Amino acid sequence: MSAPERQISTSVLVIGTGGSGLRAAIELAEAGVAVTAVGKRPKSDAHTSLAAGGINAALGTMDADDSWQQHAADTIKESYFLANPHTVEIVTSGAAQGIDDLERYGMPFAREDDGRISQRFFGAHKYRRTAFAGDYTGLEIQRTLINRAAQLDIPILDTVYITRLLVNDNVVFGAYGFDLDDGTRYLIHADAVILAAGGHNRIWRRTSSRRDENTGDSFRLAVEAGARLRDPELVQFHPSGIIEPENAAGTLISEAARGEGGILRNGLGERFMQNYDPERLELSTRDRVALACYTEIKEGRGTPNGGVWLDVSHLPRETIMTRLPRVYQTMLELQMLDITKQPIEIAPTAHYSMGGVWVRSDDHSTEVDGLYAIGEASSGLHGANRLGGNSLIELLVFGRIVGQAAAAYSAALPAQVRSAAAVAEARAEIDALLAASGDENVRALQRAIRDTMTEFAGVVRDEDGLTRGLAELDAIEARMADIGVHPDVAGYHDLAHAFDLKSAALAARATLEAALERRETRGAHNRSDYPEIDPELQVNLVWSPTTGVVREAIPPIPAEIAALIEEVSVAGKLVE
């Protein structure tokens, strides 16, 4: 054998150590089920830790009239009716328990003087239902879950990169991968596998994801195992990502900057939101502000670096220092920019994968027996526009449910049938890449995919651009056959990047093909050649390499929830 190989056996393997993966692992460990979690980046630095705004649950601590049914109605409306009503019902009705679980683990929520959990407005919610911990909510949730996992002695492998799920006759029996530091191979046998490895928004040039995360790994692992993707074209673009420096492009400037009174101006110095939403101006919805910024840039009214200006310098210095401390600190560190005196150059940035792996709504199982997907890797909750604060509660609700489902599946499995051929194929895939000595640079090809997606599948799309994007992707995939992989003294990260590249190419193809099929404008999906909503396309688009794109009907909305769907007043508050 070309490299040392460690074999591990566990009842359930969790791939990804962000919020959803850890919550599922905790559920399993608390039930006494053997579980192992693996991640390609340190658990303390998972993407969940970047989530700032808050976590939604109809607790009624501030507004007694709130209910999970109203939360469900708001979520379905904001999804432009593409969310699965059953998924929405499970998340919203289970949200209070999700918050209770966090409290049980020691989460330090912001509280009112009488001890109630504080809740604030988040865009398009009828009531105050967003619980929070400063503007570090995701970081506190991640810390809380890590602490609980440590109490339970859950084995977590921080530097293991999973390259392939092991499947025999459409039944998963584990996964294969390698250690990023020393190249040791890992053969992990498991009765069930939970995929919690994030989305695909790193395949755009400007993104709120950092290097080497959200590269579409969940999508590739699932599809190669025999699963399908749902709504990969539905990607949320955040209006305000910074442009420079290049290695930090896409880093978010919190929407709190607009909420506190920040003004958007184009390269000519004009305040342009009055042309797009004269009533709400900068407090408009995330998709509308992103579209406005994109349009100003595209029509030649952008800044020198192809952005727009976000200006808070007219606000009192005290307001900036107390209400926007992270924004102030970030811009000082990254650009030596003093936001109390100068505007910030921003542009729309890929932020969240609203689609993902096709899962059943009740237990997030996939079409591969024993394989589950949760968090940003999954689909069904957000539709064409994610409601701010819903992604964090989704992690907790489905982390618990999927943990229980995987435990039950493992317990009922009469035998674990393995396949030597599947393991040999996984080993050979790594061997082939390590032997690759072609002229193509992996990083350059990753950049080419990001440029292609930014150019042809960004905030606004059209038939011609998407078709050209697919042609460029064909050319990039042809070049991928000639890559060179060079592990070095720093480890096997170059090998990981080669797998990231495979994932990015598959995620890009799914996104382009589904975006081509969705010939309408709905939520975050803007088609300049089809500017209206098409009632015929109130469906989910399900993709696989073998079937292409097929349409899937969405279940009816329960009457008690449908009756509560209404326009939510947004007077004086940020809509996202």
Active site residues: 238, 258
The string of DSSP codes covering 71-86 is HHHHHHHHTTT-S-HH
Report the SS3 class of residue 332. helix
Task: Match 């409306």 to its residue by tokens.
Answer: 77
Written as six digits, the tokens of 449 are: 């995919």
Angle of helix 137-151 relative to helix 95-105, nearest 10 degrees, comes to 60
Task: Match 């100068």 to its residue by tokens.
Answer: 342
Angle of helix 68-78 relative to helix 85-93, nearest 10 degrees, comes to 140
Task: Match 């003093």 to its residue by tokens.
Answer: 338
β-bridge partners, 271: 265
Burial class (CB in 10 A: 0-12, 13-18, 19+), 448: buried
The helix (H) or strand (E) run that includes residue 138 is helix 137-151
Contacts 24+ apart (CB under 8 A), 318-322: 319/260, 319/261, 320/260
How far is Cα 211 from Cα 233, in angstroms, rounded to an integer? 21
The string of DSSP codes covering 228-263 is -EE-TT-EEEEEEEE--SGGGTT-B--THHHHTT-E
Q: Which residues contact 183 (CB under 8 A, 6 or more apart)?
A: 3, 487, 491, 492, 495
Written as six digits, the tokens of 310 are: 């976000």
Kindly report the CA angle at 498 between 496 and 504, in degrees rounded to 5?
Answer: 105
Task: Match 């009740």 to its residue by tokens.
Answer: 362
How far is Cα 89 from Cα 553, in angstroms, rounded to an integer? 18
